[in-house]
Amino acid sequence: MDYNPISINTALILLVIFGIVWIFFGWWLGRKNKTLDDFMLAGRNVGLAFAGATAMATWITSNTTLVAPQLTYELGIWGMVGYSLAALGLILFAPMAKRIKELMPEGYTCGDFIRVRYGKPAWIAFLIVSFCYAMGWLVSLGMAGGVLLDTLSGLNYKVGMTVILAICVSYTLLGGLRAVIATDYVQTIIIIVGVLIIGFVCYQSVGLESVYEFNKEKHPELLSLLFPAAMMFLFNNIFFGIGEIFHSNVWWSRALAFRPGIGKKAYLLSGFLWLPIPIVTGFVALAAPSLGLYPDSSDMVGPMVAAKLLGDIGAIFVFIVVFSALASSLDSLLAATSDLVTRDIYNGLIDKAASKEKLHKLSKLVILGLGVVTWILCLPKITTLGALLNFTGAFVASTIWPIVLGLYQRRMSGNFVTAAFVLGTTCGLIGYHMIGFYVAALFSCITSFVICMVGLIVKDDKFDWQRLKHMEKMQ
């Protein structure tokens, strides 16, 4: 590294302090968990303040603090705007959160919905899509931890990644969703204040004019509205963001955990508050070339610029902000993916008669197992964060129309939805390899849409909404 404002010792001390604080917090909150509902869904009684904070903190991930700058650095203005419009996912999910809570008050996961609404083949296809996405996101978060510490302190990527992953797995294991939501609340405050300060200092130190003039001369495509790859990326990222939220159990489990009437408000609030965050973090990346900063890897650009602007002490602050963003997503994803594996795969396919106590114990083992698998996959840093995340876009964008239509249209049939998942994902992956990461989600969503429309025209499933009320068991 050519700029390591934090010494290795300071980085390790920070990790130890953060580790102790978060793990203790997780243990303290986890003492109140008595049942599976407590552990998985925080007692289904989360109020507006915590609900809004957890939705926002989870969506402000390492992606927002590391990948938004990366995509701005690679794709310029459209990259920044496109990333920001991922807020539409939260905003459009708001009314659906209300509908989900009303339709399936006893549900646990999005897999429950797909299983009852569309049948077993669609459910299996959905689980594969969802699991691939969850692992992609988990690996990107683990990698982000390593990248963060490497950028700020020069600490070896593998060491940083391992320590951050261990901390997040530990406190999620101890506290369940209650700890996840509570830590999210604290982390949201840290993130918002931190990002605003970094953005303000960048604006004051570098200025819009010098950023514009330098990039116009040296990196003209970044400012061009006719930047070809970036134009393709714009709608791709919108569909990626919407697909991520519509299908993921991270958001469904929150919709089910929130008090009745809270979900819609919480998601709208968090969506509108999140919207400007990538603009701020993206602007920071645009300033990099004019500061003479060219990162080793484009996903390092955000913390690199922030640390340069804020100096040695500021770099510690950057570490805290990005670490909070990363931890708030990693814990949520671990908890939600564990729910999906425990409820859908184990309880749905392997042991249908398992007691809630047994599932409670199993969900903890699954969190641990997910942590280990993530660690193994993170070790060879095979690609950048942005490229990895957009790879999963091919999977998730195929779920947008099946989820929306499944919640509001009785006609939509399971066979067509299965085809939409499979063929949508396939076309998305073809686009990813043939053209670039910036079209994967778009190709997937277009294919899935066409199949769903054909399905609506040729077949009427006449689904009975009451079947969702009591969560039918798998036959």
> What gap in Å lies between CA 35 and CA 21, rounded to an integer?
25
Q: Are 384 and 143 in contact (CB under 8 A)?
A: no
Positive or negative torsion for Cα 115, 121, 127, 130: negative
User: How many C-beta neighbours within 10 Å does residue 111 have?
Assistant: 24
How many residues form the binding site for other proteins (CB under 8 A)?
57
Min CB(428)–other proteins separation in Å: 13
> What gap in Å lies between CA 341 and CA 351, rounded to an integer?
12
Q: Is residue 8 near other proteins by the rule CB under 8 A?
A: yes
Q: Is residue 430 near other proteins by the rule CB under 8 A?
A: no
Q: Is residue 302 near other proteins by the rule CB under 8 A?
A: no
Instruction: Kindly state the DSSP code that residue 35 receives in the 8-state scheme.
Output: S
Among 35, 260, 294, 312, binds other proteins (CB under 8 A): 294
Q: Is residue 218 near other proteins by the rule CB under 8 A?
A: yes
The residue (of 39 and 437) whose beta carbon lies closer to other proteins is 437
> What gap in Å lies between CA 323 and CA 272, rounded to an integer?
23
Among 19, 121, 276, 436, binds other proteins (CB under 8 A): 436
Q: Is residue 73 near other proteins by the rule CB under 8 A?
A: yes
Nearest to 322 by CA among 29, 90, 6: 6
Task: Sketch the per residue contact string, 39 through 68, with other proteins: x for CB under 8 A, - otherwise.
Answer: ------------------------------
Min CB(422)–other proteins separation in Å: 19
Which residues are registered as beta bridge partners of 258? 46
Instruction: Kindly state the DSSP code that residue 244 receives in the 8-state scheme.
Output: H
Q: Is residue 459 near other proteins by the rule CB under 8 A?
A: no
Among 53, 55, 96, 100, binds other proteins (CB under 8 A): 96
Min CB(167)–other proteins separation in Å: 18
Q: Which stretch binds other proteins (CB under 8 A): 221-229, 251-259, 306-314, 388-396?
A: 221-229
Q: Is residue 239 near other proteins by the rule CB under 8 A?
A: yes
Among 211, 446, 451, 468, binds other proteins (CB under 8 A): 446
Q: Is residue 261 near other proteins by the rule CB under 8 A?
A: no
Min CB(74)–other proteins separation in Å: 4
Nearest to 421 by CA among 246, 255, 252: 246
Q: Is residue 400 near other proteins by the rule CB under 8 A?
A: yes
User: How many C-beta neighbours within 10 Å does residue 199 have?
Assistant: 19
User: Residue 279: exposed, middle, or buried by beta-carbon count in 10 A (0-12, 13-18, 19+)?
Assistant: middle
Q: Is residue 412 near other proteins by the rule CB under 8 A?
A: no
Instruction: Kindly state the DSSP code that residue 61 receives in the 8-state scheme.
Output: -
User: Alpha helices, DSSP H only, in 409-465?
Assistant: 414-434, 440-458
Nearest to 461 by CA among 122, 217, 173: 122
Q: Is residue 394 near other proteins by the rule CB under 8 A?
A: no
Which two three-digit tokens encode residue 173? Answer: 């294991």
Q: Is residue 379 near other proteins by the rule CB under 8 A?
A: no
Q: Which residues of 287-316 are buried (b: 16+ CB within 10 A; e: fewer)?
A: bbbbbebebebbbbbbbbbbbbbbeeebbb
Min CB(155)–other proteins separation in Å: 6
Q: Which of residues 134-153 bind other proteins (CB under 8 A)?
A: 150
Q: Which of residues 153-172 bind other proteins (CB under 8 A)?
A: 154-156, 159
Length of the chain: 475
> What gap in Å lies between CA 247 and CA 129, rounded to an integer?
9
Min CB(37)–other proteins separation in Å: 24
Q: Which stretch binds other proteins (CB under 8 A): 23-31, 172-180, 225-233, 370-378?
A: 225-233
Q: What are phi and psi of 46, to 5 degrees?
A: -85, 130
Q: Which stretch binds other proteins (CB under 8 A): 31-39, 41-49, 297-305, 322-330?
A: 297-305
The residues binding other proteins (CB under 8 A) are 1-3, 8, 73-76, 92, 95-96, 99, 102, 150, 154-156, 159, 215, 218-222, 226-229, 231-232, 234-236, 238-239, 242, 289, 292, 294-298, 300-301, 400, 404, 407-408, 435-436, 438-439, 442, 445-446, 449
